[in-house]
Structure 1
């Protein structure tokens, strides 16, 4: 009959996610919460799409999706929780934004793209049973995935849930804690007296390798200086895994090729260069750092997830090597420690050669200890990107600050036509890294800042994101370096602190600083244009000093063109 809605019944794996305490977060800071929700949803949507899922409904902070496979649904949920847990580490506990996720397999009815039925309702109830940042699955899902994923489950027994006539048998998935250790899934008191309590050991063969650096991702270097640094690591994930299982899973020895990411998983291309690898000082710590995947610099979030899944639980002998471009390789099950180190380095070198890259491979970890010989890449304070419509404008290679002609030529040839997501990190002496074709914006921003900081020996800044300058880039005057009020010799010593304070209090719009012969500053703050800020700074300076000149615009020191 014309106009009649077509109903289609099918079996599907249903995924339901909701942010814990979302109403409280909105009440405390609505704008910041909504901005972060948008960023977190990009992560969630990306993982769902890549796992073959389809989002069929959203409402506020909730996400409902269907998957053709229970294994892919659970694997996707773990990826999401691991990725968002890392992002939450940048925020205090009271402002962390964590999902609860529930998954079941059920009979559903499809109507105009939406799904209805008990399968959707049960997934939503399971989500309510999950821990904050955790995953809860039904028995039907557990039966499908228990021997296919190297994670553990706790039997929660049959649980009475709202508006479902029969108890739902639920299982909790073991998730990593904030410090990098695994939280052993604990049995809970169940609603049904006869509910079984048992911890099921489901550590299986190594999960299929996740693409490590995002296919199509590329990091390019203009030029570079010293040093680089050893990451602070959290608790040993290997020790935590041992707490999850009384006896470690037995693994067969792996060849270097089998245990390492493919060349395409590292970087798609590297800018040719003969510059030396940074020569940071070896760590002087008495005890080695414990390896923690979320602390590994230069690599993508997908590589970190793969390391947590495959490298951390692997038995010795094992090793992991990387370059500052994120090209990496790891091996496990080798006959000796020396064999593991040699195999990891060799696989890493082969990948570098396959993309004609000049980067030197360094051992980052041997066994469960960090052995990286360089220092920690310096990073700027968060947020790494602050959007301001009053200063943002279309990216132009000709206007790229501090860059030399050769560097601009590389940007024209590689960055400008590059696929999104892409970003440029700039150092104070004109060195810059850029990446193109990344899966996640946050990933390409972090990796470029780490690589640029390692080479510059100081924190860099993101100047361009996709096809937009995201900092005030001067054109009326010429940028000559980074502006630091506390150390700028043209400003009177007793005025530097005030300059820094007033700039910190003016994070938006165009800001300019002028000084006269006596070092007394003049301010042009929150201007709608570069010219407005310049004129305001000169006018203000002239009221308290002579021969005033502009020394800073936005984050840059400047001079006349």
Structure 2
């Protein structure tokens, strides 16, 4: 006789980072890593009254009675594994219906949790908006909106959030490079250097024989701000900075403001 159990649950889906590559390189080590995962995760899951539903390849499907339990358990897993360089997980969490039938597990909650997992950073956790709503008033847990995505097999876009604790940064083993932060901290000096260069350039142009008729007194040119980080999306930030500087300086009655392109045109005359 076929038995079917349907219930609402908080679903956690985990996946080992780099497992497929490891399997192709060293099958014995990969299988040993699965054993290590079982030994480490099962006691933690039991401590939070979670249910180990099944393994899917190197991934694990777990259910909890509440989103708070699911998230706090996942944070504890990532905290413990942060000291284990061999075992790094991504985790996705969603609340939804699950169906247990003939020893297998199905349902919307399973599908969405598995789609959220790849969106997490290595060592990180991604949750759906529904989970976010259940934990947003917990002072020890914080969420950060990541993006809205249309996940495969889901009819409408889902808001995705990252999870981290109030103790510090997101629970990620592979920390992002700090170079952009260093650049940001030096930004006042960079801007100061740019402005000094602009003043020297304008002074030189004003005192060159061929250009004095083209540039008015008390003139200033604002060049583009160069994106020195590795993030292409910050190119637009440089454009906005240039526009803000030009707008602000244009408010002065004593200055004639030139764009960098206008200055180059004058130089060619």
TM-score, length-scaled by structure 2:
0.59
Alignment equivalent of 2:163, drawn from 132, 157, 173: 173
Instruction: Report what 2:116 is aligned to.
Output: 126
Name the counterpart of 1:58.
Answer: 55
Please give the residue correspondences for 1:224-303 in structure 2 after superposition, counting only pairs within 5 Å: none
Alignment match of 1:35 (pick from 32, 35, 60)? 32
Residues 271-296 of structure 1 deviation map (CA, whole Å, 9 limit, x = unaligned): xxxxxxxxxxxxxxxxxxxxxxxxxx
- State the Cα distance separating 1:8 from its structure 2 match: 2.5
Q: Does 1:45 align with 2:35?
A: no
Contact 1:134–1:175 (CA<8 Å) still a contact in 2?
no
For 1:25-174, what aligned pairs fall within 5 Å after superposition? 25-88=22-85, 96-174=86-164
1:153–1:36 CA distance, 2 compared to 1 (3 A): same
Aligned positions of 1:292-441 closer than 5 A: none
* Secondary structure of 1:18 counterpart: strand
Which 4+ stretches in 1 moved above 4 angstroms? none
Once the two structures are superposed, residues 123-165 of structure 1 have per-residue CA deviations (whole angstroms, 9 ceiling, x without a partner) of: 0001111111110011111111122251321112321111212
CA distance in 1, matches of 2:100, 2:64: 13
DSSP 3-state at the match of 1:131 = coil
Within 1, Cα distance between the matches of 2:139 and 2:37? 25
Partner Cα distance (2:171, 2:55) in 1: 31
RMSD: 2.2
| Residue 113 of structure 1: how far off its partner (Å) | 4.4
| Cα separation, partners in 2 of 1:149 and 1:67, compared to 1, 3 Å | farther
Pairwise CA distance, 1:117: 1.1
Deviation of 1:15 (Å): 0.7
Q: Is residue 7 of structure 1 aligned with residue 4 of structure 2?
A: yes
Counterpart residue number, 2:231: none
Q: Distance in 2 between matches of 1:121 and 1:137?
A: 13
Change (3 A) 1:183 1:54: closer
Secondary structure of the equivalent of 1:38?
helix
Distance 2:27 2:165 in 1: 29
Change (3 A) 1:106 1:22: same
| Gap regions ≥5 residues in structure 1 | 89-95, 186-561
Bigger share in helix: 2
Q: Judging changes above 3 Å, is the alpha-carbon distance between structure 1 residues 175 and 98 closer, same or farther for their aligned structure 2 residues?
A: farther
1:182 equivalent in structure 2: 169
Answer whether contact 1:40 1:84 (CA < 8 A) is retained: no
For 1:215-250, what per-residue CA distance to the aligned partner results, in whole angstroms no more than 9, with x for missing partners?
Answer: xxxxxxxxxxxxxxxxxxxxxxxxxxxxxxxxxxxx
Report deviation, 1:44: 1.1
CA deviations on 1:431-478 (whole Å, 9 max, x unpaired) are xxxxxxxxxxxxxxxxxxxxxxxxxxxxxxxxxxxxxxxxxxxxxxxx
Contact 2:140 2:165 in 1 (8 A): no
Structure 2: state its 5+ residue gaps. 173-269
Q: Match of 2:227? A: none
Residues 56 and 113, structure 1, Cα contact 8 Å, conserved in 2: no
CA distance 1:171–1:70, shift in 2 (3 Å): same
Query: Relative to 1, partners in 2 of residues 1:110 and 1:36: Cα closer, same or farther, differing over 3 Å?
Result: closer
CA distance in 2, matches of 1:66, 1:81: 17
Higher-Rg member (1/2): 2
Q: Could you tell me how far apart the structure 1 residues matched to 2:58 and 2:80 are?
A: 17
